[in-house]
Chain A
Amino acid sequence: AQKVTQAQTEISVVEKEDVTLDCVYETRDTTYYLFWYKQPPSGELVFLIRRNSFDEQNEISGRYSWNFQKSTSSFNFTITASQVVDSAVYFCALSGGGAGSYQLTFGKGTKLSVIP
């Protein structure tokens, strides 16, 4: 069975601080995908990144960066110089890579509050 753990339930930071959201996953699949989604107060799910299990390169997109470490089964997300607009719930998710196994398993989410 697949499992995603986001140990941080809520985080508060002051604007312009850096913040890292942790994600640890469990899977028996050798091929899998990892995702991060943002859910702002309006409720929709905003796709941030998808990473496959064979690509361990870290990725940077503007103020966002992701650290994928297979050795520790972690896929952490860092926001640099946080802004009030980053306030949201962030979900880490996992899907298998085999045929018919594309459903997502979500963590419980981390609520980030950025204080001006």
Chain B
Amino acid sequence: NAGVTQTPKFRILKIGQSMTLQCAQDMNHNYMYWYRQDPGMGLKLIYYSVGAGITDKGEVPNGYNVSRSTTEDFPLRLELAAPSQTSVYFCASSTPRYGYTFGSGTRLTVV
């Protein structure tokens, strides 16, 4: 089925470890986003991309990096995991006409 695929679904990291959250979409959407959702809060934008090779910071970018080498993929990198990065991460893609499609989320715990 077409949509946004996120992997992994769950991950436990130790403080200081690094990891990459994968996100792929097969709808040829130019716009892609990474959001994080902390308990009892709405989603906050980490990074976004308006097309391959173009990325920009959102509201809460510190501690994260992204790249967009292809239209399909938009990985999120955590270099030195900290407990404050414990959250649920959502990737999304969009077009102006058809709106947003969200992935199913990655639940990350940093211990």
Binding site for B on A (CB under 8 A): 4, 6, 33, 35, 43-45, 47, 50, 91, 93, 97, 100, 102-109
Contacts and interface: CB of A to CB of B under 8 A. Distances in A.
A100 B50 contact: yes
Interface string B19-52: 0000000000001010100001111110010100
Q: Which of B42, B50, B102, B107 has the most C-beta atoms of chain A within 10 angstroms of its own C-beta?
A: B42
Given A43-B105, A44-B102, A45-B102, A103 B45 contact: yes
- Which range contains the number of B residues in contact with the other chain? 20 to 34
Please name the 3 residue pairs, one residue from A and one from B, whose CB atoms are nearest each other, closest first.
Answer: A106-B42, A45-B102, A106-B43
B74 interface: no
Contact of B99 (A43, A50, A91, A105): A50
Contacts of A50: 99
A63 to B, nearest CB: 22
Contact of A47 (B42, B45, B50, B99): B99
B interface SS class: strand
Contacts of B92: 104
Contacts of B43: 91, 93, 104, 106
A103 B88 contact: no
Nearest to B44: A106
B24 to A, nearest CB: 17
Contacts of A107: 42
A5 B107 CA distance: 25
Contact of B100 (A4, A104, A109): A104
B31 A104 contact: no
A109 B104 contact: no
